[in-house]
């Protein structure tokens, strides 16, 4: 495989899964050309006269879609670790004797580990999407036939829109749908709030199948995915485990050290003057990105400041902020608990969005540029603020990119995480995998203090004289290494097993096969 050094000196292939790929030329240096992709012109002549697109079962739908070996099939991850449709889909494909399919999920979860048998058997050729847990280990062990392609949520929408990835069939779980294929996610026992991750799939796939366990009379109100994009509707008993659809990540962390970091983040946002009437921020689920919002809400109450809008990952904490008048609007990419699902169904200031709309870099402007501050995690950050979010320090795939890269376009980007995890330092000489260029990362907050990127003179000025523990990344690194020792550079092989795409589709870095002894 031909590897070249990109603008940040990372070795990347120039061809990914048989298609040419552009090495990252620097932030905002890549200019796309041509026109966006488009599916063929459909005609109503080809669809049932009575408007009823319901077919017997998933297999029938796939057959009617003309499924063939080598097809790219997409699913969405709004059911998170409660998804059962992807497994059912590939079990069905295996029964049909299909081979070499490409699975193109918006994200994969531990519940998808059983797909390994379909990778081994050749039903699935490779996966283009976030890889972690057993699927990640499978990839970094070099067992997957094609390269893993890791994209941000926005990058995935961009890839679909630009024709970089052509979806042959989108199989989309919908908590509620009517016979025409209009679908939403706010009703039914699998209600997951929004279906934003499925929007680009529905619009650009050659064929779209809606799978629901809750068929409602026409029209499905509200409609989030329009039936005009839908070929077939499958109705079945279950499409996921509702208990695990919204779970796990919505509790405030109890770790005192993480709470301390979260509070430090909130204090920074307040003291740097970012917390002012009408400001906007992004909150996540779980860990520090959730906890900081709770602290920030208290500070907003105290200072009588109301936010303009909050982008989520929505939990009951954000819903409370909306209902207590601490924000005018919640723009919701993903509902993390049932309170969020309830709220989006009833509150007109709680609106759904899609990565196609809010994270897609190849759009007429970038929605995230309007966001004042975002708080993200990372597994590693180097002294130039370059950060890693997909691999562990030993090179194992750990997380998907999610909206992480897209959010780097916010006006102030804060990475918040412990400086050391069981002796493993987070601040390193060189990140294992580069996912975010340091020039876009403004602040790093750890339990050891707050480091502001020297490029952000405005922020340095804004916090001058404030009671905040400011430190350089070098200082934090030295503190960690004093007690834990200086780490050796981990070994790695030169065999690329996956690539990390930037938001514009260029190749930012490679993930390498792990040495055997790991």
Partner 1 sequence: MSRTGTAGRKGEDVRSDVWVAVEIKDSGGIELALKSRVDFIYGESIRELIFSGMKHFGIDNARVEVEDSGAVPFVIMARLETAVKRALGEVPEWLPEPGPSLGKPSYRERWRRSRLYLAGNEPKFLLNARIHQPDGIILDLEDSVPPEEKDGALILVRNALIAVDFGECERMVRLNPLPRGLEEVEILVRAGVQVLLVPKCEDEEQIEELDKKIDNAIKKFREKREVYLMPIIETARGAFKAHKIARASERIVALTYGLEDYIADIGAQKTKEGWESLWLRSIIVNAARAAGIQPIDTVYADVLDLNGLRESCLMAKALGFEGKGCIHPRQVRVVNQVFTPSEAEIGRAQEIVRADQRAKAQGKSVAVIGSKMIDPPVVRRAQRTLELAIALGKLNPDWNQEEK
* Residues constituting the chain: 518
CA distances from 351 to 121, 282, 331, 343, 354 (A): 42, 14, 5, 9, 10
210 closest CA partner among 231, 188, 241: 231
Q: Which is nearer to partner 1, 56 or 421 (CB)?
A: 421
Q: Which is nearer to partner 1, 218 or 260 (CB)?
A: 260
| CB of residue 323 to partner 1, shortest distance in Å | 23
| CB of residue 268 to partner 1, shortest distance in Å | 15
9 closest CA partner among 512, 510, 515, 385: 510
Encoded tokens for 193: 């709030």
Q: Which is nearer to partner 1, 219 or 485 (CB)?
A: 485
| CB of residue 253 to partner 1, shortest distance in Å | 12
Q: Which is nearer to partner 1, 230 or 514 (CB)?
A: 514
Strand partners, 314: 335
DSSP 3-state assignment of 78? coil
- Are 17 and 149 in contact, with CB atoms under 8 Å apart? yes
Strand partners, 509: 500
Report DSSP letters for 29-86, one per residue. Answer: -----S----PPPP-GGGS-TT---EES-HHHHHHHTT--TT-EEEE--TTGGGB-HH
H or E element in which residue 110 lies: none
Q: Which is nearer to partner 1, 323 or 481 (CB)?
A: 481
| CB of residue 483 to partner 1, shortest distance in Å | 5
Q: Which is nearer to partner 1, 328 or 394 (CB)?
A: 394
Q: Which long-range contacts (CB under 8 A, 24 or more apart) does 29-33 make?
A: 30/502, 30/504, 30/505, 30/506, 32/162, 32/362, 32/504, 32/505
Q: Which is nearer to partner 1, 218 or 518 (CB)?
A: 518
| CB of residue 176 to partner 1, shortest distance in Å | 39
| CB of residue 465 to partner 1, shortest distance in Å | 14
Q: Which is nearer to partner 1, 364 or 517 (CB)?
A: 517
| CB of residue 514 to partner 1, shortest distance in Å | 9
| CB of residue 425 to partner 1, shortest distance in Å | 8
| CB of residue 422 to partner 1, shortest distance in Å | 3
| CB of residue 297 to partner 1, shortest distance in Å | 17
Neighbours of 136 (CB within 10 A): 25
- What gap in Å lies between CA 187 and CA 184, rounded to an integer? 7
Q: Which is nearer to partner 1, 306 or 492 (CB)?
A: 492
DSSP 3-state assignment of 424? strand
Q: Which is nearer to partner 1, 40 or 488 (CB)?
A: 488
CA distances from 399 to 87, 134, 315 (A): 20, 12, 20
Quick one: DSSP state of residue 464? T
Encoded tokens for 425: 């330092």
Encoded tokens for 221: 């109100």
Binding site for partner 1 (CB under 8 A): 256-257, 259-260, 393-394, 420-424, 447-448, 479, 482-485, 487-491, 518
283 closest CA partner among 310, 245, 251: 310
Helices (H), 417-487: 457-462, 473-484
């Amino acid at each position: 495989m031909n590897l070249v050094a990109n603008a940040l000196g990372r070795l990347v292939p120039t061809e990914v899964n048989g298609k040419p790929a552009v090495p990252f030329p620097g932030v905002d240096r890549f200019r796309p050309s041509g026109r966006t992709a488009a599916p063929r012109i459909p005609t109503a002549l080809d669809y049932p006269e009575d408007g009823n697109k319901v077919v017997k079962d998933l297999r029938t739908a796939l057959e009617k879609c003309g499924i063939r070996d080598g097809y790219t099939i997409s699913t969405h991850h709004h059911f998170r670790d409660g998804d059962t449709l992807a497994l059912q889909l590939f079990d069905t494909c295996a029964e049909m004797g299909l081979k070499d399919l490409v699975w193109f999920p918006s994200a994969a979860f531990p519940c998808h580990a059983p797909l390994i048998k379909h990778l081994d058997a050749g039903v699935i050729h490779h996966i283009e999407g976030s890889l972690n847990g057993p699927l990640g280990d499978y990839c970094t062990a070099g067992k997957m036939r094609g390269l893993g392609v890791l994209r941000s949520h926005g990058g995935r929408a961009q890839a679909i829109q630009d024709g970089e990835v052509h979806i042959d069939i989108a199989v989309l779980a919908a908590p509620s749908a009517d016979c025409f294929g209009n679908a939403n996610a706010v009703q039914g026992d699998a209600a997951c709030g929004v279906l934003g991750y499925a929007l680009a799939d529905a619009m650009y796939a050659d064929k779209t199948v809606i799978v629901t366990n809750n068929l409602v009379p026409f029209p499905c109100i509200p409609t989030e995915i329009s039936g005009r994009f839908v070929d077939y509707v499958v109705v079945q008993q279950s499409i996921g485990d509702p208990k695990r659809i919204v779970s796990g990540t919505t509790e405030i962390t109890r770790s005192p050290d993480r709470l301390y970091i979260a509070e430090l983040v909130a204090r920074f946002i307040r003291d740097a003057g970012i917390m002012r009437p009408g400001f906007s921020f992004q909150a996540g689920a779980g860990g520090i990105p959730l906890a900081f919002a709770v602290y920030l809400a208290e500070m907003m109450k105290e200072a009588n400041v109301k936010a303009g809008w909050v982008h989520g990952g929505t939990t009951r904490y954000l819903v409370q902020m909306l209902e207590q008048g601490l924000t005018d609007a919640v723009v919701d990419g993903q509902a993390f608990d049932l309170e969020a699902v309830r709220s989006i169904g009833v509150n007109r200031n709680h609106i759904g969005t899609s990565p196609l709309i809010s994270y897609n870099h190849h759009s007429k402007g970038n929605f995230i540029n309007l966001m004042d501050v975002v708080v993200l995690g990372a597994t590693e950050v180097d002294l130039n603020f370059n950060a890693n979010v997909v691999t562990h320090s030993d090179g194992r795939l750990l997380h998907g990119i999610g909206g992480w890269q897209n959010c780097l376009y916010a006006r102030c980007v804060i990475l918040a995480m412990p400086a050391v995890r069981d002796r493993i330092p987070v601040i390193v000489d060189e990140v294992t995998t580069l996912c975010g260029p340091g020039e876009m990362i403004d602040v790093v907050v750890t339990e050891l203090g707050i480091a502001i990127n020297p490029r952000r003179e405005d922020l340095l000025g804004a916090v001058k004289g404030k009671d905040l523990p400011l430190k350089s990344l070098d200082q934090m690194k030295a503190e960690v290494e004093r007690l834990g020792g200086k780490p050796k550079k981990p070994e790695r092989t030169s065999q690329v097993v996956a690539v990390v795409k930037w938001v514009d589709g260029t190749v930012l870095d490679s993930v390498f096969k792990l040495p055997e002894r790991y």
